């Protein structure tokens, strides 16, 4: 086990690839493009933590390395630095076996230990404990369970608890993302809508089409995806229950049907309709009554609505001032918009942080399309990404990370960046390209 | 070092096995992936988007070759960056199709608007629509009837040219004129 652990540590990227391949070969039907993970930028002032390989006495799947998943989660957040396994002074699996002084001596402020347990109902329990080596105190002791073959979620929940106990912010490791995959060469491309774990593993295909799919949007309860599909050779908006595949067409009006966005209470969709005169404006559709309320009404392109967390207003993109800028408008008929962006001549695709304080957007920065974040209180803008064609930002539900899509050479890939801009990860498809990520909500 | 090489080899073998497994599935066009997925052919709503045998059921899958004489064989109008202004060759192409539509009351076209890949996707849907509408207005002004024209915008979603430079981008900023069958297809 020690030899294997050393290999895994040294070749962390290879481990990630192997885990993803392992996940794909499991029960879920494999999506076409598997994701490989690269850590692209460093961390600053990270919390030093040791995550000791968990004991797997009854082999919960020979490739399940709970500690490895926790380590990847915590380091990928940019807030932690894990002790390499070969520097560990011992391999405890219980808190009482942890000799804090020897861990302090190798620089670890915290130690995580654990083991898997086979349960009577056939499920596997992942038990872990978190020890503060400075005080010797046990900060957490908990069990998460999962079915064999579906253990990654349990490990992510361990990461969530550790993150929260140490940083005081809820972890978002046990959440999901949705994105679009495209392969083939234009004009003969093939599209898929995919749901995966937030680390890119466990992908499964939710929809497949010869025609473009775009703008996936999670319902607030994490059960539905709204999206745009061109399968009828015109744009239409659908909502689909992820767990069953059941879908409903919710708007196939003449002209543009686009940019669906769920209200925070899940009862309405803001969307863009162009009509037969081809003038995109924003509307709110009540899903129960089918009432349609116009929100904007002007000859410019008004699109990409995004609900404020209190459900009372919408952010959106409009080129009424000559080029795309971001505006805010009350979520009711007769409201008047207020312009929010002034810093350049292209700001689009607003996404608000869960606490309502920050607005992510695509902006043109010296000729490159990049992700920026604007503080809605004082108006300052920070550039978070550094690519040429970065787009589609989406906040994690804890607001600590943004996922977005970028183009590296001829490959479209997904990337995450911590909202302080300091840590980056790239999720690259091995074939074709991936784009338009949408980060799902917390699930209970 | 040799450990690293053998790790890479193991991964390569796994990836190769996976690639083989996936290509075996590639020929199935409408893959619902079990209980958890939908196909873009679901229920009565769409046309058979993922079924290659679909012929004119619902939707708009009734494209025909249309007129080919002279300029009428040209079906693409190109645009400059951030512009929906018809210029140059585009003016003549549009004029030719307008004249044809004006003299053939049963002829119908679908105008498909596109952009290059730069910028935000849904905003680009708006730009592609603006281009399609510009061509539509020009056709109407030159004698075509409203009922003969439908539009769709694909934004940047359906490029004609792969590539990420101005050569490719120029080929993607376009409106395609697609002729449709004169009689609506009947559902079997």
In-domain check, residue A366: yes
A211 shares a domain with A152: no
Q: Mind listing the pLDDT tens digit for each residue in A336-345?
A: 999 999 988 9
Is the separation of the CB atoms in B163 and A389 below 8 Å? no
Q: Mind listing the pLDDT tens digit for each residue in B59-86?
A: 445 899 999 999 999 999 999 999 999 9
A203 shares a domain with A291: yes
SS3 B16: helix
The mean pLDDT value for A432-440 works out to 93
Q: Closest-CA residue in chain B for A260?
A: B122
> A367 vs chain B: nearest CA distance in angstroms?
10
Domain boundary at A138, A167, A196, which? A167
A375 shares a domain with A351: yes
Q: Closest-CA residue in chain A for B63?
A: A233
A276 shares a domain with A141: no
A258 shares a domain with A341: yes
In-domain check, residue A324: yes
Q: How many percent of chain A have pLDDT more than 90?
A: 75
pTM, 2 dp:
0.84
Closest Cβ opposite residue B15 in set A21, A259, A324: A21
**CA dist B97 → A255, B38, B104, B112 (Å):** 22, 39, 10, 15
CA atoms within 13 A on the CB side of A143: 12
Q: Is the pLDDT of residue A352 over 80?
A: yes
pLDDT range class, residue B7, cuts 50, 70, 90: low
What pLDDT sits at residue A112?
A: 98
pLDDT range class, residue A61, cuts 50, 70, 90: low
What pLDDT sits at residue A22?
A: 35
In-domain check, residue A115: yes
- Mean pLDDT (chain B) is 77
Closest Cβ opposite residue A391 in set B4, B110, B121: B121
In-domain check, residue A389: yes
Q: Is the pLDDT of residue A20 over 90?
A: no
Closest Cβ opposite residue B152 in set A11, A18, A234: A234
Domain membership of residue A98 as a residue range: 2-167
A419 shares a domain with A295: yes
What pLDDT sits at residue A185?
A: 85
Q: Mind listing the pLDDT tens digit for each residue in A360-373?
A: 999 999 999 999 99
Tell me the domains of chain B and their CATH numbers: 70-180 (3.30.1330.60)
In-domain check, residue A444: no
Helix (H) or strand (E) holding A429: strand A424-429
Query: Is the link from the previous residue into B113 a cis peptide, with omega within 30 of 0?
Result: no
Q: The domain spanning residue A203 has which CATH number?
A: 2.120.10.30
DSSP state of B63: B
**Residue A384: Cβ-neighbour burial (10 angstroms; 0-12, 13-18, 19+):** buried
**Residue B13: Cβ-neighbour burial (10 angstroms; 0-12, 13-18, 19+):** exposed
What pLDDT sits at residue A137?
A: 95
Q: Which of B122, B146, B178 to mutate to test the interface with A (most CBs of A within 10 A)?
A: B122
Who wins on pLDDT, A35 or A184?
A: A184
Q: Is the pLDDT of residue B51 over 50?
A: no
- Number of domains observed in the structure of chain A: 2
Q: Is the pLDDT of residue B34 over 70?
A: no
CA geometry: angle A344, A349, A351, nearest 5 deg: 110
Assembly ipTM? 0.88
A61 shares a domain with A33: yes
Q: Is the pLDDT of residue A264 over 60?
A: yes
Residues of chain A neighbouring B22 (CB-CB closer than 8 A)? 30, 32
Q: How many contacts, defined by CB atoms under 8 Å, are there between A and B?
A: 216
A276 shares a domain with A161: no
**Maximum C-alpha span of chain A:** 73
Q: Mind listing the pLDDT tens digit for each residue in A117-175?
A: 999 999 999 999 999 999 999 999 999 999 988 899 999 999 999 999 999 999 999 99
pLDDT range class, residue B27, cuts 50, 70, 90: very low
A159 shares a domain with A180: no
A61 shares a domain with A210: no
Give the contacts of A173 (CB within 8 A, at least 6 positions apart): A73, A156, A157, A159, A160, A163, A198, A199
A386 shares a domain with A369: yes
Q: Is the pLDDT of residue B173 over 70?
A: yes
């Amino acid at each position: 086990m020690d030899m294997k652990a050393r290999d895994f540590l040294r070749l962390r990227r290879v481990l990630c690839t192997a885990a993803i391949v392992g996940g794909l070969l499991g029960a879920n039907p494999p999506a076409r493009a598997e994701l490989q993970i690269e850590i692209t930028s460093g961390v600053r002032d990270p919390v030093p933590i040791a995550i000791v390989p968990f004991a797997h006495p009854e082999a919960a799947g020979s490739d399940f390395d709970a500690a490895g998943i926790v380590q990847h989660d915590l380091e990928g957040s940019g807030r932690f630095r894990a002790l390499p396994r070969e520097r560990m002074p011992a391999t405890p699996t219980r808190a009482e076996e942890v000799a804090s002084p020897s861990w302090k001596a190798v620089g670890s402020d915290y130690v995580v230990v654990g083991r898997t347990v086979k349960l009577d109902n056939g499920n596997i329990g992942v038990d872990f404990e978190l020890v503060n080596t400075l005080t010797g105190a046990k900060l957490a002791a908990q069990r998460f369970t999962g079915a064999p073959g579906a253990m990654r979620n349990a490990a992510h929940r361990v990461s969530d608890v550790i993150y929260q106990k140490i940083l005081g912010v809820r972890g978002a490791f046990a959440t999901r993302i949705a994105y679009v995959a495209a392969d083939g060469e234009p004009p003969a491309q093939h599209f898929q809508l995919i749901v995966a774990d937030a680390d890119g593993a466990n992908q499964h295909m939710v929809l497949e089409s010869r025609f473009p799919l775009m703008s996936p949007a999670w319902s607030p309860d994490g059960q539905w995806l709204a999206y745009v599909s061109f399968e009828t050779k015109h744009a239409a908006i659908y909502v689909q229950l992820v767990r069953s595949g059941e879908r409903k067409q919710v708007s196939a009006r003449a002209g543009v049907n686009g940019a669906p966005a769920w209200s925070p209470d899940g009862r309405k969709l803001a969307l863009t309709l162009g009509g037969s005169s081809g003038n995109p404006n924003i509307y709110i559709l009540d899903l129960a009554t089918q009432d349609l309320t116009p929100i904007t009404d002007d000859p410019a392109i008004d699109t990409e609505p995004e609900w404020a967390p209190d459900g009372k207003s919408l952010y959106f993109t409009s080129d009424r001032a000559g080029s795309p800028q971001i505006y805010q408008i009350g979520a009711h008929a007769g409201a008047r918009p207020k312009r929010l962006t002034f810093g350049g001549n292209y700001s689009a695709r607003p996404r608000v942080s869960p606490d309502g304080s920050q607005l992510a957007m695509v902006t043109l920065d010296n000729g490159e399309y990049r992700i920026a974040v604007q503080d809605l209180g004082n108006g300052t803008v920070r550039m978070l990404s550094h690519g040429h064609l970065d787009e589609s930002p989406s906040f994690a539900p804890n607001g600590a990370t943004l996922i977005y899509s970028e183009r590296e050479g001829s490959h479209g890939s997904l990337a995450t960046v911590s909202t302080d801009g300091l840590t980056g990860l790239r999720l690259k498809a091995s074939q074709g390209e991936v784009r338009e990520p949408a980060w799902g909500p917390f699930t209970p | 070092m040799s450990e690293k090489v053998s790790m890479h080899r193991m991964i390569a073998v796994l990836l190769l096995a996976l690639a083989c497994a996936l290509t075996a599935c590639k020929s199935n066009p409408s893959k619902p992936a079990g209980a958890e997925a939908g196909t873009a052919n679901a229920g009565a709503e769409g046309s058979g988007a993922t079924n290659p045998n679909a012929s004119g059921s619902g939707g708009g899958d009734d494209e025909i070759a249309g007129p080919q004489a002279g300029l009428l064989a040209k079906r693409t109008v190109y645009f400059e960056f951030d512009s929906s202004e018809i210029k140059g060759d585009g003016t003549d192409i549009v004029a030719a199709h307008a004249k044809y539509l004006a003299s053939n009351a049963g002829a119908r076209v679908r105008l498909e608007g596109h952009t290059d890949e730069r910028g935000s996707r849904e905003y680009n849907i708006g730009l592609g629509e603006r281009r399609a509408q510009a061509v539509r207005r020009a056709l109407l002004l030159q004698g075509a009837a409203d009922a003969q024209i439908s539009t769709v915008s694909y934004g940047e979603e359906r490029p004609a040219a792969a590539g990420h430079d101005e050569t490719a981008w120029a080929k993607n900023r376009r409106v395609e004129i697609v002729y449709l069958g004169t009689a609506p297809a009947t559902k079997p």
